[in-house]
Amino acid sequence: MTSYDHIRYECEGGIARLTLDRPDVLNSFNVAMHGEVRHALDRAAPDGARVLVLTGAGRGFCAGQDLNDRAVAPGASRVDLGESIERYYAPLVLALRALPMPVIAAVNGVAAGAGANIALACDLVIATRSANFIQSFCRIGLVPDSGGTWFLPKLVGPARALGLALLGDKLTASQAADWGLIWRCVDDAEFAGVVDRLAADLAVAPTRGLAAIKSAIHGAAFRPLEAQLDVERDLQRELGHSHDYGEGVSAFKDKRSPHFLGR
Ligand code: T3D
């Protein structure tokens, strides 16, 4: 049993829950928290997780980089921010994308800077109505990182991406859902229940197939249609031999609920 200082992690019934737990600084990232998050992500599949829920403790989801570790005199950066991206933020985004299970970002409050884009790197983003998304980078002279310049134009188009990134205004969760930036916005009173039900459903879903869907859709951005059709063929060929495909078809024919094993 590993204990962590900056996150909470548990895995039960196929559901891994990873809670960023530095509420005094709106769960912003320091180096130690990066290490713990990566450790927890790496253990989720071996622990038997079939879905991972990423959320924040307290009133925020995540406010990006902990700026207490960055205070400097103008023009005199103590830290190579490029190295910070290369060592911590970029690998985190890629690790979320590579996880062989759906990842739910349960955005319980403000998601700012890298915190907003780490949420967007997840597969299903559900936000509570009082949450908001802020591309804060422009306010401190930086560019959206953690995939922000990639996710934003793809999700909401260049006009809205530029508005969000150049102005750094708060985007409400409900506007984010209307724009297609996130999957759902849910009333605060219902938020926990909706997230729990979704996680429970995904924990008994055909995980191997869902992992293939996630990889095909995320990878589609890089490929022309012909290549994507080849990817679909190859995945279908592979999944055709899976336990869960056989079980899904048998259950359909037998008019019963399927019992998927995730493989
Ligand atoms: O550096 C690198 O490695 C490069 C990578 C950069 C990635 C990035 O994420 S850069 C962007 C960093 N994040 C920000 O610029 C966001 C800063 N925070 C805010 O703008 C505001 O806090 C929010 C809009 C997110 C929320 O505002 P509000 O009014 O709801 O809360 P607050 O009062 O500002 O914050 C509450 C506390 O959290 C406060 O501490 P206090 O006064 O109660 O002791 C505040 O200082 C602290 N806090 C919030 N965000 C951060 C933070 N402390 C450190 N770092 C933060 N990012």
Quote the pLDDT of residue 222. 87
> CA 83, CA 91: separation in Å to the nearest integer?
12
33 lines ligand 1 (CB under 6 A): no
142 lines ligand 1 (CB under 6 A): yes
- Looking at the chain, which residues constitute the CATH 3.90.226.10 domain(s)? 7-203
**Element (H or E) spanning 217, and its range?**
helix 207-219
CA atoms within 13 A on the CB side of 23: 9
For the chain, report the end-to-end CA distance as a whole number of angstroms.
26
Task: Name the residue of 21, 22, 26 to mutate for ligand 1: max ligand atoms within 8 A of Cβ.
Answer: 26
Torsion sign (Cα): 248, 253, 257, 261: negative
Residue nearest to atom 43 of ligand 1 (CA): 24
Report the separation in Å between the CA atom of 229 and the middle of ligand 1, taken as the mean of its atom positions: 43
Quote the pLDDT of residue 96. 98
- Looking at the chain, which residues constitute the CATH 1.10.12 domain(s)? 207-254
The three-state DSSP-derived secondary structure of 35-99 is HHHHHHHHHHCCCCCCEEEEEECCCEEECCECHHHCCCCCCCCCCCHHHHHHHHHHHHHHHHHHC
112 lines ligand 1 (CB under 6 A): yes
> CA 248, CA 232: separation in Å to the nearest integer?
19
Q: Tell me the pLDDT tens digit for each residue of 179-202.
A: 999 999 999 999 999 999 999 999
26 lines ligand 1 (CB under 6 A): yes
Quote the pLDDT of residue 71. 62
49 lines ligand 1 (CB under 6 A): no
Residue nearest to atom 5 of ligand 1 (CA): 65
- Name the DSSP letter for residue 29: B
Quote the pLDDT of residue 20. 98
36 lines ligand 1 (CB under 6 A): no
The CATH number of 207-254 is 1.10.12
Quote the pLDDT of residue 76. 65
Quote the pLDDT of residue 1. 63
SS3 107: strand
Quote the pLDDT of residue 19. 98
Residue nearest to atom 37 of ligand 1 (CA): 25
CATH architecture of residue range(s) 7-203: Alpha-Beta Complex (3.90)
- Low-confidence spans in the chain with pLDDT less than 70: 1, 71, 75-77
